[in-house]
Amino acid sequence: MANKRVETGRGRKPGVVKSSKSSTSNRAFFLLIGSIAILGIGALTYLSTRPSGAAAAASPIDTTLPKIESQGYVIGNASAPLEVTEFGDFECPQCGRFASISEPDVRSRLVNTGTIRFRFIDYPLPMHANTWNASRAAACAAEQDKFWEMHDAIFANQDRWNGEATHNPDKVLKQIGAQIGLKTDAFNQCIDTKKTQAKVQAHYEIATKRQVNATPTFVIGDKQIAAYMPYDEFKKLVDDALAKQGTPVASPADTTKAPANDTKKSVPLKKGQ
């Protein structure tokens, strides 16, 4: 038996390995593997190094559209030279990412310095089960002049109330409302009666009229960008828009590192009209 093994060659079975001697097959194999590897690495390198930032994703806006006015929720100085609008969905992970990573800087360095005014308009996407509840709750908080506190808390707690976490989002949203200091009786009643449904619906319609089809979508100057943005890209687009309309770009002092969350309380709050 041992002899037989030596003769046949260890583990080599002619029925299975038909082509081990065929060098053309090997050459074809290595050629194929090599070209796929080169193609794949080349494509990935190209895709990850080309300018893929928000500026690249920006599309020009039809300037004949009427200005977005008196809708959504506004934070910042009414006389700020530029208004930036975000169409957002409270259950969208990328909106949550923007709210928690970029927005603190946007508030402290651009909104609080009077460079921009920031408007948030709900665009609850149909694929998110609980997003309408969150939009209604935020609108309820706005009735107590606490929209932005609620906005931040809703995004920060996305994983507690989203469609994956619960079938009863209102319960969690009520808890969040209580945590940020809302008058719970009025707030809970507002949620239970869906009092703010029409307002959210109106915001949704603004977004669909403007053919927004993704969140977050930002309108900065004459550009529309449907993508998450880190602060630096956001700032660049703001600078570009300011330069285009002839307003001097914010001084470099504005770009010094500021603690992200320290200004939230001092921000002037304005309820959407």
Partner 1 sequence: MSRRKWMAVVSLAGLFLGAYLTLYHYGFIGTLACNVSSCEKVQTSRWSMFLGLPVATWGAGFYVLMLVLTVAGLQPRYESSRTLSLVLLMMSGWGLLFTAWLNYLEAFVIHAWCEWCLGSATLVLVLFVLSFLDWRAVESSGNVEELTAD
Q: Which of residues 93 and 272 has its CB atom nearest to partner 1 in the complex? A: 93
154 contacts 169 by C-beta, under 8 angstroms: no
Q: How far is CA 135 from CA 172, 196, 197, 237, in A?
A: 13, 9, 8, 27
Output the smallest distance, CB 92 to partner 1, in A: 3
Indicate whether 239 belongs to the interface with partner 1 (CB under 8 A): no
Indicate whether 272 belongs to the interface with partner 1 (CB under 8 A): no
Show contacts with partner 1 in window 205-224 (CB under 8 A): 213-217
Query: Per CB under 8 A, which region of 40-48, 72-80, 99-107, 191-199 contacts partner 1?
Result: 40-48
Q: Which of residues 159 and 262 has its CB atom nearest to partner 1 in the complex? A: 159
- Alpha-carbon distance of 29 to 64, in angstroms, equals 58
Indicate whether 19 belongs to the interface with partner 1 (CB under 8 A): yes
Q: How far is CA 210 from CA 14, 117, 121, 204, 218, in A?
A: 68, 20, 12, 10, 12
Indicate whether 21 belongs to the interface with partner 1 (CB under 8 A): no
Q: Which of 68, 71, 77, 94 binds partner 1 (CB under 8 A)?
A: 94
- Classified as helix, coil or strand, 153 is helix
Query: Per CB under 8 A, which region of 44-52, 180-188, 244-252, 256-264 contacts partner 1?
Result: 44-52
Output the smallest distance, CB 35 to partner 1, in A: 10
Q: Which of 227, 241, 242, 260 binds partner 1 (CB under 8 A)?
A: 227
Q: How far is CA 103 from CA 15, 110, 132, 230, 255, in A?
A: 65, 10, 22, 9, 14
250 contacts 110 by C-beta, under 8 angstroms: yes
Instruction: Determine the size of the site formed for partner 1 (CB under 8 A).
Output: 55
Phi, psi of 241 (to 5 degrees): -65, -40
Indicate whether 157 belongs to the interface with partner 1 (CB under 8 A): no
Q: What does DSSP say about strands 269-270 and 73-75: parallel, antiparallel, or unpaired?
A: antiparallel
* Interacting residues with partner 1 (CB under 8 A): 1, 4-5, 8-20, 25, 28-29, 32-33, 36-37, 39-41, 43-44, 47-48, 52-54, 56-57, 89, 92-95, 125-128, 162-164, 213-217, 226-228
